[in-house]
Structure 1
């Protein structure tokens, strides 16, 4: 179906966004997750919380999932806020998922676990996922990677094909692989 034939409101309802900087409300962690789908059952909210690796975060908070997170999520770290955004989109089940540096504040292990969950959820629903990332390991399993330089697409392909091409992506990959493991936060 041609996207121009879709009404804007319908298109917006079908998109889920995981931004790098998430907006949280001065309410409980649980209600901040439920915002992804206010009509979701408790079981669905719990599944989204597990999928976004938020259980351990809740366990460390004084009132667990009922802890008030403060204005703009003041009581949570950047990575914990990103997990809330991921839980919201897991709950929303969008047709199009846009992840804009949405795992940048996560450690490598948590990121890997969450990306596995996002891929499974996307495959289950035939969801189109668009990820924007500077940490190339985030994109490694993508079906198609677009390298953007100065606002233009300079290379397109899978991780393996771009490495074989030996151009900018391969150079960036080699550079990131040789850097100290700074993302082992």
Structure 2
């Protein structure tokens, strides 16, 4: 029941946004009674934060699995960027974005969302460092990795307005070349 509620919440966030997501709508979509929903999640904020946290964990496992299938050698950096782009254009990102925007003006929601987003950000950064084989002790490398994540997140944001896959692909091709060169220059 809990899993159905969480999945229904994410679907509502993606389809209707934060403002259009209600606990009643989520209960209906999940096929559970309002009382059962309130037993598990007494407030809308608790429900949406739990849903995004759940889906973030699912997506983290998917990223780890996708990382295992990445090629080695010359095309690895581009493959890592493609994997990250898939993450930042996924329903998880869209749902998280809805929460970020709502949390901007809702202090209670911000208190719940901020730690989650910080944890997810750290985990994604750590995974990216590992996948790129980057040495963060070298000057500027940590910033290159963070710039990479900021770039791909921005491309994901652009994708929420319009399908931007062709432009995104060209940008990622070029960034992979720049990143490979910069990381090689800073390698010990």
Larger Rg: 2
User: Which of the pair is proportionally richer in helix?
Assistant: 2
Question: What TM-score comes out, normalization by structure 2 length?
Answer: 0.31
TM-score (norm 1): 0.32
